[in-house]
Amino acid sequence: MISSFVITGFLGVGKTTMLTNSVKENFSDKKIAIIVNEFGDIGVDSKILKNVHSEVLEISEGCICCQLAQEFEAGVREIIEKYDPEMIFVETSGASEPFPIFLSLQNMGISVDGVICVVDSKNFDTYKENSTAKYQLGGSNIIILNKTDLVTEEELKALEIELIELKEEYNIKNTMTDKPIFKNYVIHKAKQGIVAKEVFEGVYKVEEVAEFAKNVTHLGHTLKDSITQKVAYLKEDINFNDVDEILKNVPESIYRVKGIVKVKDVPNAIFINYSFGDASFEELFDYEDKSLLIFIGENVEKEVTELTKKFDILNVPKFSITKS
């Protein structure tokens, strides 16, 4: 039986980082396939993941827990046929709830060994009121407090207490019996998504969950409605300082920027990863497409228009959604 993990968590918390930094080295003896569903229609995570993992399937445009369930199942079948993996990791978009994906995998005869919710220890306060974020916590059985390098011990302790309370409140339950679906859950801490192999050693028995899962319905969630994305292309190669300057001008309501840009005097393209005010950069090999920045947040339309006024280099297509 193929085993799988679902990785959930709000936008920018470190899901892809965990997949690139932890998964391969812990399972070097296994054939791993990754499925990634990104918020927005241009997948940059898949490009990053392909640097590390050989088999990456990208499902873009929409949320796999709602309108893309069929595409998701078709994608899983495709990757199994082509690659015959022993393990599948599914990175869900920050807008998805994990439970429907969990059920889809089980319906396909794939064992789900864990639903991992990655939490941003530094920025949890900023997004914790979002209902999807709460359901992501409630629908998981492995909680990873990531970005621990950005908080103090005390802050981390306080966060852990808060998370336990929220987990109890939002713990996914069987609607008939009112009993929690996951009997147990564990909390681990991580920096740069680096966790030990034990994290992936299941904490519950699948059969028990399957029994419970029959009566669970998909809860409505609001993230997709309130959060949108806008892509801006760069008219030409720019200086690294200009990238920095653009990021400094990103308003608070845009809390996620991902992009790939060609920078003058640097041979390879640079992958830009910005979340909640912090940015990281990575070289990306063999990227030949246009330079672009994807802005994700609230009011993006208005805010990105402001940015294009300020930075002439940014060009926002008026009508079409362009796929990479």
Query: What residue ranges bind ligand GTP (CB under 6 A)?
Result: 9, 11-17, 38, 45, 94, 146-147, 149-150, 191-193, 256, 273, 275, 280
Please say whether the beta carbons of 271 and 48 come within 8 A. Answer: yes
Nearer to Mg ion, 45 or 113 (CB): 45
Phi, psi of 275, rounded to the nearest 5 degrees = -140, 130
Shortest distance, CB of residue 267 to ligand GTP, whole angstroms?
22
Token match 């920078």: residue?
A: 263
Shortest distance, CB of residue 45 to ligand GTP, whole angstroms?
5
Cα–Cα distance, 253 to 60 (Å, whole number): 23
CA quadruple 68, 71, 75, 77: dihedral, nearest 10 = 120
Residue sitting closest to Mg ion (CB): 16
Shortest distance, CB of residue 109 to ligand GTP, whole angstroms?
27
Shortest distance, CB of residue 36 to ligand GTP, whole angstroms?
8
Q: Which does 147 bind (CB under 5 to 8 A by kind): ligand GTP, Mg ion, none?
A: ligand GTP
Nearer to Mg ion, 10 or 311 (CB): 10
Please say whether the beta carbons of 43 and 59 come within 8 A. Answer: no
Shortest distance, CB of residue 123 to ligand GTP, whole angstroms?
9
Please say whether the beta carbons of 140 and 8 come within 8 A. Answer: yes
Please say whether the beta carbons of 117 and 137 come within 8 A. Answer: yes
Q: Which does 133 bind (CB under 5 to 8 A by kind): ligand GTP, Mg ion, none?
A: none
Nearer to ligand GTP, 253 or 280 (CB): 280
Shortest distance, CB of residue 96 to Mg ion, whole angstroms?
12
Nearer to ligand GTP, 57 or 216 (CB): 57
Please say whether the beta carbons of 261 and 218 come within 8 A. Answer: no
Please say whether the beta carbons of 164 and 253 come within 8 A. Answer: no
Nearer to Mg ion, 11 or 145 (CB): 11
Shortest distance, CB of residue 4 to ligand GTP, whole angstroms?
18
Pick from 185, 135, 189, 195: which is nearest to 159 by CA?
189
Nearer to ligand GTP, 4 or 20 (CB): 20
Q: Contact residues for Mg ion (CB under 5 A)?
A: 15-16, 45
Please say whether the beta carbons of 275 and 297 come within 8 A. Answer: no
Tokens of 105: 């995998």
Residue 314 exposed, middle or buried by CB count within 10 Å (0-12, 13-18, 19+): buried
Nearer to Mg ion, 19 or 103 (CB): 19
